Amino acid sequence: MKQVASIVAEDLDMLRRLARDHYWSIFKQRAFVGEEVPKAEEILSVETKIVEMCQGEDDKWENSIKKILKLSYDYLPSPHLKKCFAYFAMFPKDFEFEKDQLIQLWMAEGFLRPCQETPLMKDVRNKFFQLLLQYSLLQDVKLDEFNNITHCKTHDLVHDLAGDILMSKLFDQKSIRGENLSQVRYFGWNSPSDQMDMINEPGRIKELSAKIGKLIYLRYLDLSDTQIKALPNSICKLYNLQTFRVNDCSSLRMLLEEMANMISLRHIYCNYYYIFDMQISLNMGQLTCVQTLEFFKVGSEKGRRIEKLGHLKNLRGELTIRGLQSVRTKEEARTTYLQEKPNIYKLTYLWSHNESEGCEINDEHVLDGLQSHPNLKTLVVENYLGTIFPSWFNKELLPNLVMLKLSGCKKCKEIPSLGQLKFLRHLELIGFLELECIGPVVP
> Which residues, other chains included, contact 281 with Cβ-Cβ below 8 Å and sequence gap of 6+?
254, 255, 257, 275, 301, 303, 304
Q: Output the pLDDT for position 147.
A: 79
Q: How far apart are CA 428 and CA 63, in angstroms?
A: 53
Q: How far apart are CA 79 and CA 62, in angstroms?
A: 26
* Domain residue ranges in the chain: 17-75
Q: Which helix (H) or strand (E) holds 315?
A: none
**Residue (of 313, 325, 439, 321) closest to 379 by Cα position:** 321
Q: Are 104 and 242 in contact (CB under 8 A)?
A: yes
Q: Output the pLDDT for position 116.
A: 52
pLDDT in tens, the chain (443 residues): 455 444 444 444 444 445 556 555 655 655 555 555 555 555 555 556 555 655 555 556 667 777 777 878 888 888 888 889 988 888 888 989 889 888 888 888 888 876 655 555 667 778 889 889 888 888 899 988 777 888 999 988 888 888 888 754 444 444 444 445 555 555 555 544 444 455 555 545 555 566 777 888 888 888 888 778 888 888 888 888 888 888 877 777 777 777 877 888 888 887 665 455 443 345 554 566 667 777 888 877 766 789 888 888 888 888 999 999 999 899 999 999 999 999 899 999 999 877 665 676 789 999 999 999 999 999 999 999 999 999 999 989 999 999 999 999 999 999 888 888 889 999 999 999 998 888 754 44
> Which residues, other chains included, contact 172 with Cβ-Cβ below 8 Å and sequence gap of 6+?
none
Taking the model in full, what pTM does it have? 0.65
> Which residues, other chains included, contact 238 with Cβ-Cβ below 8 Å and sequence gap of 6+?
212, 213, 215, 216, 218, 221, 262
In sign, the C-alpha dihedral spanning 333, 121, 213, 86 is positive
